[in-house]
């Protein structure tokens, strides 16, 4: 423990972000650099508790508690406090191959289960992770990793966080890895799902270049199951790891859903990022919110990203509908006790920007969409809603109940559906006759990851359903271990 009384002496200081009125004018990263001496002080706040719940990585009440990749958090916190940055980096990458991603986009379940957070403000684990990896890149400590060739060939389908993680670990133990990606760039949702201001794509490309230099091969613009049969990969490679994600978007079953101007959030975000990277939005190949009244249906990170992207386009107004009630200001010790993930109200970057621009939070809670109305040209012109309350039905389940007289009409030119995903697409599972679970995910046991088809493995959202980037990274790592065991009889992963 670097400083025994550090948690009593120093307050939590969050990393600063660029002012909302400045950052909505561009697509650059939100975060401002921190003074490294101040970062060291934040590391001193870690109390090195007897049981570091922060690195537990378990599910409590259906939510992550602690770090799913089991980061050795107290160890590198102490090393940062002591100024031993390279040793801190070495500790960090023992468990996490891509801290530059999680340091930017992970919601930090580690902080939610921090022992210090039980009685005061938790340690700034997420920002410490960010600073360690960025210093490592700046100092040249992050280098390509190569190993003696094993003679085994492996195909990884999908280059999102699970696929990249599996490829990384399989490569470092000497296997020849080829990653197949249907888009023109690698990264999956890291590239095209998360907006640039949260994760600048130069940081994704920086990691991809290292992976290529390590010997990993990437095949782009190739959709497995269509451009090349999955069975061909099974026949050609010693093992196949399916990491194609859960990309089937959840729709809204109301009248008017087919109108022009109604889009899935992922289509809106993906087109924007691709156009931004291809031409700085000059090619016009994206869904623009400029001059429009925007309705975002759905909360969560994706809804926030839609709000922030619409503001940067120059929308006239933006509202966000959530069917659930507003979270409390503080966690409930009865229904949401520590070390569960704290379910409490937060104002994310997109809401901050909307408040700065319009003077109020764009979110509207306990709202259900009843109908989308169009004009004579088949274009969206309004959304009709009703307020709801949640009540128990005869079987004890909580169900929504409409509030009489609460109907409302909202002017709208663009409606974005940010209601999550239903599971993986059917092409690959149907071709290989893969077993599915009740939620349509590809069936494979956790920590086994092998499907019902020999030498075919699966990991990430394709196996577990829509989840966090950090869970995908962990699943990719553990799936790589199981593939290595399958091929070599044992594994050091």
153-248+422-488 maps to CATH 3.90.1010.10: no
Grouping H, G, I as helix, E, B as strand and the rest as coil, residue 379 is: strand
In this prediction the pTM is 0.96
pLDDT in tens, 21-54: 999 999 999 999 899 999 999 999 998 788 999 9
Exposure letters 63-100 (e unless 16+ CB within 10 A, then b) = ebbbbbbbbbbbbbbbbbbeeebeebbbbbbebbbbbb
pLDDT in tens, 63-90: 999 999 999 999 999 999 999 999 999 9
Q: pLDDT at position 416, please?
A: 98
Residue 10 · residue 45 · CB < 8 Å: yes
Going by the DSSP 8-state scheme, the letter that residue 28 receives in this structure is S
Strand ranges (E), 302-423: 317-322, 363-365, 367-374, 380-392, 398-402, 408-411, 414-417, 421-423
Instruction: Return the structure tokens found at 154.
Output: 């492996």
Among the listed residues 264, 235, 294, the one whose alpha carbon sits nearest the alpha carbon of residue 454: 235
Mean pLDDT by 10 residues, the chain (493 residues): 84 95 97 92 90 94 94 96 97 98 97 93 96 98 95 98 98 98 98 97 98 98 98 98 96 96 98 98 98 96 97 98 94 92 94 97 97 97 98 92 97 97 96 97 97 98 96 98 98 95
pLDDT in tens, 273-297: 999 999 999 999 999 999 999 999 9
Give me the residue spans of the domains in the chain: 6-139, 153-248+422-488, 251-419
Cα 297 to Cα 364: distance, rounded to the nearest angstrom: 10
Q: pLDDT at position 1, please?
A: 62
Q: pLDDT at position 33, please?
A: 87
For 187, half-sphere exposure in the C-beta direction (CA atoms, 13 angstrom radius) is 26
Instruction: Return the structure tokens found at 461.
Output: 């959202």
For the 251-419 domain, the top CATH level (class) is alpha beta
Which region holds residue 188: left if phi is over 0, alpha if psi is between -120 and 50, else beta? left
Among the listed residues 17, 15, 69, the one whose alpha carbon sits nearest the alpha carbon of residue 42: 15
Peptide bond into 339 cis (omega under 30): yes
Provide DSSP, 174-230.
T-EEEEE-SSSSS-THHHHTS-TTTS-HHHHHHHHHHHHHTT-EEE-S--BTTTB-H
Domain 153-248+422-488 and domain 251-419, same fold? Reply is: yes
What count of residues does the chain have?
493
Question: Can you name the CATH fold of 6-139?
Answer: Fumarate Reductase Iron-sulfur Protein; Chain B, domain 2 (1.10.1060)
């Amino acid at each position: 423990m670097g400083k025994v009384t550090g948690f009593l002496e120093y307050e939590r200081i969050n990393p600063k972000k660029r002012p909302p009125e400045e950052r909505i004018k561009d697509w650059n990263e939100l975060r401002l650099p921190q003074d490294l001496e101040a970062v060291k002080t934040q590391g001193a706040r870690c109390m090195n508790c007897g049981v570091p719940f922060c690195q537990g990585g378990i599910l409590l009440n259906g939510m992550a508690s602690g770090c799913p990749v089991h980061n050795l958090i107290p160890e590198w916190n102490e090393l940062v406090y002591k100024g031993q940055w390279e040793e801190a980096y070495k500790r960090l990458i023992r468990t996490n191959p891509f801290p530059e991603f999680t340091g930017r986009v992970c919601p930090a379940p580690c902080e939610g289960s921090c022992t210090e957070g039980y009685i005061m403000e938790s340690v700034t684990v997420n920002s410490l992770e960010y600073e360690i990896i960025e210093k490592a890149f700046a100092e040249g400590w992050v280098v390509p990793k190569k190993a003696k060739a094993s003679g085994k060939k492996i195909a990884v389908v999908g280059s999102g966080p699970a696929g990249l993680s599996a490829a990384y670990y399989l490569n470092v133990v000497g296997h020849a890895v080829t990653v197949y990606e249907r888009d023109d760039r690698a990264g999956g949702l890291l590239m095209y799902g998360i907006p640039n201001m949260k994760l600048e794509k130069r940081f994704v490309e920086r990691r991809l270049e290292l992976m290529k230099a390590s010997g990993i091969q990437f095949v782009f613009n190739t959709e497995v199951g269509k451009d090349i049969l999955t069975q061909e990969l099974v026949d050609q490679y010693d093992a196949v790891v399916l990491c194609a994600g859960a990309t089937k978007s959840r729709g809204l079953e109301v009248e008017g859903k087919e109108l022009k101007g109604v889009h899935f959030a992922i289509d809106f975000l993906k087109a924007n990022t691709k156009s931004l990277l291809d031409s700085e939005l000059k090619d016009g190949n994206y869904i623009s919110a400029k001059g429009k009244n925007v309705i975002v249906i759905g909360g969560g990170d994706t809804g926030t990203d839609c709000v922030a992207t619409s503001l940067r386009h120059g929308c006239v107004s933006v509202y966000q509908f959530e069917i659930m009630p507003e979270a409390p200001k503080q966690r409930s010790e009865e229904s949401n006790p520590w070390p569960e993930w704290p379910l409490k109200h937060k104002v994310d970057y997109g809401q901050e920007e909307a408040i700065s621009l319009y003077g109020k939070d764009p979110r509207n809670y306990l709202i259900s969409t009843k109908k989308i109305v169009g004009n004579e040209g088949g274009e969206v012109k309004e959304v009709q809603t009703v307020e709801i309350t949640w009540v128990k039905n005869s079987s004890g389940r909580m169900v929504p109940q409409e509030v009489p007289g609460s109907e409302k009409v909202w002017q709208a030119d663009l409606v974005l559906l940010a209601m999550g995903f239903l599971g993986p697409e059917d092409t690959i599972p149907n071709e290989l006759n893969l077993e599915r679970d009740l939620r349509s995910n590809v069936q494979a046991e956790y920590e086994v990851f092998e499907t019902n088809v020999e030498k075919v493995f699966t990991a990430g959202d394709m196996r577990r359903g829509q989840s966090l980037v950090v869970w995908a990274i962990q699943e990719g790592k553990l799936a790589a271990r199981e593939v290595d065991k399958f091929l070599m009889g044992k594994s050091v992963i």
